Amino acid sequence: LYRKTTPTTLPSFLLIGPSGAGKTAFLTLTERKAVAQTHTSTAPLAVEVLLPEGHTPQSSHYRSPGDPAYERSRRFQLHDTPGHGKLRHFATTQLANPTSVRGIIFVVDAASVAEEAGLNETAEYLHDVLLALQKRYTGATSSKGPKEIPVLVAANKMDLFTALPPHLVAQQLEKAISEVRKSRAKGLKDSGPALGGEDDSLDEEREWLGEGGEGSFEFAQMEEVGTTVTVQGGNVIGGDGVDVTSWYEWIAAQL
């Protein structure tokens, strides 16, 4: 018997979300432990980082700090993607082949989703990300079934007084995603060929996010397709200090 040297593919987390939400700011904070000025991203960026002190990786709960396995388990990669509408192919490419992806961090500007335009843009993007995960799950051919990929909706900019609290961010997004779902289904119907057969209804089913029927979309419906959606508030920058504890806790729970 011989032992193969296992390639060290670190668990990775994808940062996705609309432009200006704070993805690069969070990556920079995690990498340098200090906030820095960011500019809108035009290319993806991957960095190797350590889970900050004070958070314990799920897999290391029974290990003590200093144990090499403990230290190893704190390492992960953050993959930043540009949020601009024309640059989202970087994110969708990563989503299409999420081999080492342990989770997706969908960053939201909680002040921007208090307004209709920001809410709709965010909901459309999140809808598409969740639909991609659903298709990956339902289209999987392996008998073991695909790996579960959890999603953290990181409701950022809680320092702004116009920011919606996390539970309202969740509610508003669910409502807006219900609308996106409806209008996408209508778009499919309208663009379909006049002599529609079985294929059409199959297509419609595949493109429908979450449960069918008349009800509205709820994040909990994603459990069916191996995705747990969690919404947590935080702020990467802010007058009263940075607070991203709940996001690191979520990351720790996936490590």
Q: Which residues bind ligand GTP (CB under 6 A)?
A: 17, 19-25, 38, 40-41, 82-84, 107, 156-157, 159-160, 235-238
Residue 238 binding partner per list Mg ion, ligand GTP, none, with a CB distance cut-off of 5 to 8 Å that depends on partner kind: ligand GTP
Residue 150 binding partner per list ligand GTP, Mg ion, none, with a CB distance cut-off of 5 to 8 Å that depends on partner kind: none
Sheet with 12-16: strands ordered across: 45-50, 75-80, 12-16, 101-109, 151-156, 229-233
Query: Minimum distance from CB of 80 to Mg ion (Å)?
Result: 6
The reply on whether position 24 binds Mg ion by CB under 5 A is yes
Q: Which residues contact 179 (CB under 8 A, 6 or more apart)?
A: 120, 123
Q: Nearest-CA neighbor of 13 among 124, 93, 71, 94? A: 94
The reply on whether position 56 binds Mg ion by CB under 5 A is no
The two tokens of residue 105 are: 């961090």
Query: Minimum distance from CB of 20 to Mg ion (Å)?
Result: 8
Residue 25 binding partner per list ligand GTP, Mg ion, none, with a CB distance cut-off of 5 to 8 Å that depends on partner kind: ligand GTP
Burial call 193-214: b when 16+ CB within 10 Å, e when fewer = eeeeeeeeeeebeeebbbeeee
Query: Minimum distance from CB of 127 to Mg ion (Å)?
Result: 21
The reply on whether position 28 binds Mg ion by CB under 5 A is no
Distances in Å between the Cα of 34 and the Cα atoms of 37, 65, 217, 232, 248 are: 10, 24, 38, 21, 15
Residue 112 binding partner per list ligand GTP, Mg ion, none, with a CB distance cut-off of 5 to 8 Å that depends on partner kind: none
Query: Minimum distance from CB of 168 to ligand GTP (Å)?
Result: 17
Q: Which is nearer to ligand GTP, 51 or 107 (CB)?
A: 107
Q: Which is nearer to ligand GTP, 86 or 144 (CB)?
A: 86
The reply on whether position 41 binds Mg ion by CB under 5 A is yes
Q: Which is nearer to ligand GTP, 22 or 57 (CB)?
A: 22
Query: Minimum distance from CB of 237 to ligand GTP (Å)?
Result: 4
Q: Nearest-CA neighbor of 108 among 230, 208, 251, 217? A: 230
* Interatomic CA distance for residues 154 and 53, integer angstroms: 20
Beta pairing partners, 101: 12
* Interatomic CA distance for residues 91 and 82, integer angstroms: 7
Query: Minimum distance from CB of 143 to ligand GTP (Å)?
Result: 38
Judged by the rule CB under 5 A, the positions of this chain that interact with Mg ion are 23-24, 41
